[in-house]
Amino acid sequence: MVDSSLDEVQGTESPDEGSAQSTQARPAARVVRRASLFDDPLVRMLGFGVVGALVLFLATLLGALAMGILGSGIPQTALERDLQGYAYQTEAGSKDPEVWKGYVSALLDSGQNANAQRAVDKGIAVLGKSNTGDMAFAQTQVYYSTAKYDKAIKEATAAMKLIKDSFAREVKTSEVKGLTMSDNYWGILYLRAQSHVELKQWDKALKDFDEYLKEKNGASDVYVMRAEVKLEMGDKQGAIKDYRAALKYLPDYDLALDGLKKLGVDE
């Protein structure tokens, strides 16, 4: 009885032992990977080539943008568009004085002073020296913008006389009523006044500003300029009057408000 029981006990496998043997006997499952297109060496080579070409293209693009090569012919700002438009028209031989004046102004605004002078010279060759002072205005503008104030005053004075004399003859001979002098006259006068200011010729600047405001009495900026000239000449009350006149036409004009504030005066 004892031996039989012992034999049964020895012949019986524990569940854990049987499970372990079963696990060891079962072969491991093998994962099968699907074939990829990039397993092909030729495809891999072409793929790397495309990536390399893309990287090279982007590097070239960024380099061109950094150096200003790419897009240099495409105007990005209003000033650039004006320059391109005026350049095209003047190269085509435009006879419109406003085109030439606009081109000179745009060149000066972009800091191209030498090109502005060349445009003036070319404009004079195309248009001639008119009695309305179109290119004289442009030339005065170039002189003023390049700090050649004496030349600006000389050019302005000659041009203003030409315009005024021509206008006087026109009024005398024309049957048209209500003729007005060319706006170039007032633009040139303004530049001459500013040139006098730069040279600290206060009495001459005041005289020019007086003449300007007699015709253009709503110019708030010129009232402020004249106020500052009057302050330089010791005329505080006259300056206060001009600052207030500027505010009459432009109530929130900061320069006029600041001028009164500095003088300790209310609006």
Over range 248-260, report the average pLDDT: 96
Q: Is residue 267 part of a domain?
A: yes
pLDDT tens readout for residues 31-47: 555 555 555 555 555 55
- Residue 189: closest CA among 207, 171, 212, 173: 212
Query: Does the residue 260 lie in any domain?
Result: yes
Is 0.75 topped by the overall pTM? no
Structural domain boundaries, residue 245: 217-267
- Answer whether residue 236 is part of any domain: yes
> What is the pLDDT, as a whole number, of residue 212?
98
Q: Is residue 238 part of a domain?
A: yes
What's the pLDDT score for residue 10? 45
Residue 266: DSSP 8-state: -
Task: Give residues with Cβ within 8 angstroms of 138, minimum separation 6.
Answer: 100, 101, 104, 105, 119, 120, 123
Domain count, the chain: 1
List, for residues 194-216, the tens digit of each pLDDT value: 999 999 999 999 999 999 999 99
